[in-house]
Amino acid sequence: MGIEHWDRERDGELTEAAMRRKLESRGYRVSRYVYPPGTWFPPHTHAVDKIDGVLSGRFELEMGGVRHVLEAGDMIAVPAGAVHSARVLGEEAVVSLDAVKI
Cβ-Cβ contacts under 8 Å for 28 (sequence gap 6 or more): 50, 51, 99, 100, 101, 102
Taking only the tens place, the pLDDT of each residue in 25-54 is 999 999 999 999 999 999 999 999 999 999
In the predicted structure, residue 61 carries a pLDDT above the cut 60: yes
Total number of domains in the chain: 1
Domain coverage including residue 21: 3-101
DSSP H helical ranges for the chain: 8-11, 16-25
End-to-end CA distance of the chain: 20
Contact 93, 34 (CB under 8 A): yes
- Residue 100 pLDDT grade (very low, low, confident, very high; cuts 50, 70, 90): very high
According to the model, what pLDDT value does residue 18 have? 97
Residue 50's CATH number: 2.60.120.10
